[in-house]
Amino acid sequence: MSNPELDVVEFLLTTTLYTERRELDPDDLPAAYRAAFWSDGTIERPLSATTTTASEATGVERPWDAISGLMFTDRDDFSGSISFTDREMAEQWFLDRVDADRLERNPVLAAAYGDEIEGVDYETARAHNRPSRADRAFIDAMLEEAFDTDDEDDESMLDLVDVRAPRKSR
């Protein structure tokens, strides 16, 4: 069962921590979060948490409605950005409600809070996270780079390309 409040707060914490911690790379972001931020084959920092990116990444149709009752959240009506007014309170609220299984599905949060939740390991979380090179946006960017779409010959070559996602192996 989904918890929209927890989903959106997790998204906001992830975007904040990923922006701050330069040692993290796109492989640390959950695939749905990466999809919301891919642009021209890369993910640029800082990540901007807006109602649009939050909805796309979490599947929560109205993310601000989900968290507007929390005293540590704020929204800029003009830009649509969502942020924390008190990050420490947001972190504590999240940690009081999250379990180890959920935290291990998000390597960014596992890196930040792994010491606070028993059974959470950053390396394990990262190993279970689908790599960014398997994302459709990454593959499209590589194809675009390989074939100059302004050239008609190269564009016709793309008709011969059949890209398939690799099967999950265990």
State residue 152's pLDDT score: 62
State residue 140's pLDDT score: 75
Residues counted in the chain: 170
Low-confidence residues of the chain: pLDDT under 70 = 1, 147-161, 163, 165-166, 168-170
pLDDT in tens, 89-107: 999 999 999 999 999 999 9
State residue 1's pLDDT score: 47
Check if the beta carbon of residue 92 is closer than 8 Å to that of residue 11. Answer: no
Cα distances (Å, whole numbers) of residue 86 to 93, 102, 166: 11, 23, 42
Task: Report which residue type is found at 102.
Answer: R
Quote the tokens at residue 42.
Answer: 């890369």
Check if the beta carbon of residue 147 is closer than 8 Å to that of residue 158. Answer: yes
Q: Domain ranges for the chain, please list them.
A: 4-131
State residue 56's pLDDT score: 95
